[in-house]
Structure 1
Amino acid sequence: MYLDTDYVVDQLYWQYIGMLRDRFDAQGLADTIYTKPAQILSLGTERAGLLMPWLDELVSLSVEGSPRHRFHRMQSLWLSIADQIAPHVQVAPGCFTADSRATVNPSAPRYRHFSPLREEALAIQHILRSDVSRQWTLEDLASRVHLSPRQVSRLYSNAFGKTPLAHLRMLRVQERGCRTNR
């Protein structure tokens, strides 16, 4: 079974949404607790036998060609499988930095990687977080950091994996969720 690291980071983010600010925090958490890039799990024949019908159905649904229509069933199957294997996944006994993790367990480069953060990207992130309710446009943000709107979108996407306006929508959803939970 292979789990894409972006998927794992997204799952961690949603699992700990009350404690993490964004997916970078989730990536940091993943780097801290999952120190091995790959693990072989010994589940035993009884537990493996329990998983086989779920795995078979999950594979069958994913190769049928219309997984969007069965997304919730597929998600349900995956969560049932994850519930059984999670106790067997090894986590770090202590904290590691991303650098120490890479030297202890070197892994192949990931398909998706984020560029080093430029000052302008951090400035845009700060601007968005400081006034989430404002109707920001790319032109507004571009004028604040003295770049073109297209450059702002490209720079921010490279740094954070989404456009500034998509990030703004996520921040608004988080803010509404925080107000609802009070």
Structure 2
Amino acid sequence: MQRFVPVLAQTRVLSKPFKSKSCTCVRYIFVRSGSAIVSSDKGDRSLLPGDLMILGPNLSCEKIPNSTVTLTTVYADFEYLADQLLWEMSTIFIDRSQVLSYLGKTFPEQEVLLRLNAEDHKRLSEQLNLLVSVSKMSQNFYQIQSAFGEVLQILNQRLLPVELLQNRGLGTPTVRRTGVNSFKIVSREAAAIRGLIEREPSRRWTLAELAQIVHLSPSQSYRQFVAAYGTSPLGYQTIQRVRFMAHCLRTTRTPVKEIAREAGWRDAGHAAEIFLRHFGQTPTGYRSFFGDQSMTSAELSLLVDTLIPGQPSFR
């Protein structure tokens, strides 16, 4: 039975042409020494020491060494990579579908080539050596995760769009705030209020109305909900509304004004202000970056099963 690993790193020396087979994982190929020509459907490109080539899911290429070339390849399960980015960049990415939209832009239908500076190359080399070492022992999962996280942190500074990095500290991560108290015991009444809001986020709820349904006073309802979820019932409703807006902006071409109305806001300008406060971007700016690469569930399902020939199984 093949063991599943989310990340695998290998260093190899190539002295003759080598064809990389397509797979549904993401491959980060670092040039440690030597040089090579990469040949793909999009043409030929040179690889030099310090270069990084990224192959997205279902891409293949042929590497032709100039004499010899030493490469370190990091294989990352696509689903695992999405989860890592979601939690590491929680002030940029609000939910998993947003991460998948970003990855769709980062990994287009051709290889991505980055030329790293000397400082980044030195930092990456140290982490890559560690990652290769711990990859050989399956019980070192947390060491693998730590080393891979360091690699991602360096690369994200080069891969993430400048406007998103600038907004990283602007958008209040309120949309994810409900996870802060996820290990606390939640009262039945608080959970019921949450369910009501999630089922009808566009409804003009009042605290008194919610309290009456769960048979508590407004003050009791407020205290229990804040204790469980870290925000007020109406604050949580706002979170659900901006999530709905974000989903529509990514997956439809519906005008912003209409999306705001469907979310429950009468004033589109007010809705845009709230959206900016939570996401660090206006609805229009958010759509321009994430909206063009929306993915259907059928398309996403194609990215799950991964198998690298001769290597541990990637789901």
TM over 0.5: no
Name the TM-score class by shorter chain: 0.3 to 0.5
Which is greater in Rg?
Answer: 2
Q: Using structure 2 for the length normalisation, give the TM-score.
A: 0.26
Larger fraction in strand: 2
Q: Using structure 1 for the length normalisation, give the TM-score.
A: 0.43
Larger fraction in helix: 1
